[in-house]
Amino acid sequence: MPVFLHLKAKPNARANQLQVSPDGSVTVRLHAAAQDGKANACLLAYLAQVFGVSKSNVTLVSGHTAPFKKVALEAVDEATLHRVLAQFQVEP
């Protein structure tokens, strides 16, 4: 059963970066531009790298053309999700 991650994607950043704010919201800054699905492909590849799974285990469920996205992570459990996100906490 996949774990779902709700996030906000911000394309055209200097580098790929994941940030978790104190309220728990997840923001992913992406180097790719938001055209022709480049940012979505970059997002899925970056999340696969961050969570240590293959790209085929990361699926965009909703938000294909919107900044707010829902991503399904296969082969990742809740404990792993929280452990990885804790590494990207931003200080208030």
DSSP secondary structure letters along the chain: --EEEEEEEE-S-SS-EEEE-TTS-EEEE-SS-SSTTHHHHHHHHHHHHHHT--GGGEEEEE-TTSSEEEEEETT--HHHHHHHHHTTBPP-
pLDDT digits (tens, 9 = 90+) for 1-43: 899 999 999 999 999 999 999 999 999 999 999 999 999 999 9
Token pair, residue 35, equals: 């055209």
Backbone angles phi, psi at 54, to 5 degrees: -75, 160
**Per-residue confidence (pLDDT) for residue 1, from 0 to 100:** 86
pTM: 0.94
Q: What are the extents of the domains in the chain? A: 3-86
CATH number of 3-86: 3.30.1200.10
